[in-house]
Amino acid sequence: MNDNSQKKWSDHVTKTSDALDLEKGVFTWKYPKEIALSLKKSADSSVRRKAGSFQSAMSMLVFYINRAGRNLDKTQLKILEEAKNELRVLYKKI
């Protein structure tokens, strides 16, 4: 799989996840808590997810971070990493 098809594949998964209905542009938002709240809302309301809501929300966030890789702006990466902590707080995992 070349770089172009890899990007298209990950973009497709992010946009058409069978488990979560994500708000448009959620991974580009500037506030970690808002990202976490949106992911939690999506995971909690999903009836298609196969795992628990915390695991589904965290998995989607980690998937996006990993797929964006080196193309992800350092500032946005920091925001997304902070969103992982916010998710843990929201789900009382800390």
46 in a structural domain: yes
C-alpha distances (whole Å) from 49 to each of 39, 68, 73 are 13, 23, 29
Domain annotation covers residue 65: yes
Tell me, yes or no, whether 8 lies in a domain.
no
Does the residue 7 lie in any domain?
A: no
* CA neighbours closer than 13 Å in the CB half-sphere of residue 56: 22
- In this structure, are residues 19 and 48 in contact, taking their beta carbons and an 8 Å threshold? yes
What are the pLDDT digits (tens) for 35-88? Answer: 999 999 999 998 888 889 999 999 999 999 998 878 889 999 999 999 999 999
Domain, as residue range, for 34:
30-94
State the total domains in the chain: 1
Q: In this structure, what token pair is assigned to residue 21?
A: 């209905």
Judged by DSSP in three states, 76 sits in: helix
Length of the chain equals 94
* 44 domain-assigned: yes
pLDDT tier, 18 (very low <50, low <70, confident <90, very high otherwise):
low
Amino acid making up residue 24:
K
